[in-house]
Amino acid sequence: MDSAPEAFDRLLRERSAALLRTAYLLTGDRHLAEDLLQAALTKTYLRWSSLRDEAAAEAYVRKVMVSVYTRWWQRKWNGERPTAELPDVELLDPYGAADEREYVRTLLTSLPRRQRAVIVLRFYEDMSEKDIAEALGISPGTVKSTASAAMARLRSMVADEASPVPTPHEKGAP
């Protein structure tokens, strides 16, 4: 067999993907599989001089993986511990962004058409006041005052606790 570093590097290059698949099939978890393979490769490297060829080395890695995995499985698990208080963890709402977009769309549809057009062109299309004025056939001053009135109306609708604009979830609520 070649020198240990060269032969070991060749084993890593040529067989690490297959070995990782085996580790994944044993553990069922990508991260645990990577840990398992790393532990097995470390043990293999330390015993490299006693292995007769690369095929024997690959078989040895697989044997070590099964042995290490079995020890992990037999060892008393110390992962989670019950506590009296739950930690404050911010959970991401996968639908929050969609709900927010729908809420903003609902707010926009409650604006008069010109105000809605000015807000959409200004903030969604990022057009200048001059370009909006040309597109809508109004003066730049009218664009400014219309945008100001629309923003004031949107702020009041959001802040108004007495008659809030219903979010999509509240529309069907009794």
Dump pLDDT digits (tens) for 18-70: 999 999 998 888 999 999 999 999 999 888 888 877 788 888 999 999 988 88
CATH number of 96-169: 3.40.50.920, 2.40.50.140, 2.40.50.220, 1.10.10.10?
Answer: 1.10.10.10
CATH number of 4-74: 1.25.40, 1.10.287, 1.10.1740, 1.20.120?
Answer: 1.10.1740
- The pTM (predicted TM-score) of the whole model is 0.43
At 100-156, the pLDDT tens digits run 888 888 898 899 989 999 998 899 888 899 999 998 999 999 999 999 999 999 999
Same CATH fold assignment for domains 4-74 and 96-169: no
Helix spans in the chain (H):
4-27, 30-46, 54-74, 96-109, 113-119, 129-136, 140-159, 168-171
Task: Give the position of tokens 């001059």.
Answer: 130
Instruction: Locate the domains of the chain by residue range.
Output: 4-74, 96-169
